[in-house]
Structure 1
Amino acid sequence: MAEAAADKGVDVGDEDVRARKERERDELYALDISGAEWQSAPGTEEHEERVEIAYLPAGAVAMRSSLDPDTVLRYTEAEWRAFVLGARDGEFDLERSPHEGGPTAE
């Protein structure tokens, strides 16, 4: 298998990482989360649209929209940590649109 990957120009280490991540994702989505305790930001009302998260084993996190609770995304501890750190660092800050007082298109 390593020889076939090398023939295609794929780094064997990259292939191992991809295989490990795929295994982690399969295990994460195989978890029964029917009893998960969902949390949302403080101050949000039950009838409001909101993002909800549930903490899973091994530091993993599940996330869903209150308007579509059957669609659940799941993140490993490393993925969630990267997301949270990126959000804290401003990676996901929205640029204000012109109608919100942001710059206008030229």
Structure 2
Amino acid sequence: MLKKTKSLKVEKVVSHLGRKILFHSSTKLDSLSDAQALHNKPVFLDGSKIGMLIDIIGKTSNPCFVLKTFSSFEPEKIENKVLEIKLVKKRKKKKRGRRK
């Protein structure tokens, strides 16, 4: 069964440029598929949606996450906080009608 959410503990904000924030997490990723599952997923802080996780640099050992926030968001707010990422599996569209 696929877990619905993944928690990321923000260890250190590396840099921020406009709406993009780069941060290191103390949460280790198990595999490459674990990293791919987090791509383009919404990120929540204390129950409110703050942005999307758009990229992961350095896949397994000490990954650096790229978070694209919705508005001008102070990166100091997420320092040492736990971010929730909702992993929602997309349903496959059912084929209808006759296939040739």
What is the TM-score when the length of structure 2 is the normalising length? 0.25
Q: Which has the larger radius of gyration?
A: 1
Higher relative contact order (CA 8 A, sep 6+): 2
What is the TM-score when the length of structure 1 is the normalising length? 0.24
Specify which structure has the higher proportion of helix: 1
Specify which structure has the higher proportion of strand: 2
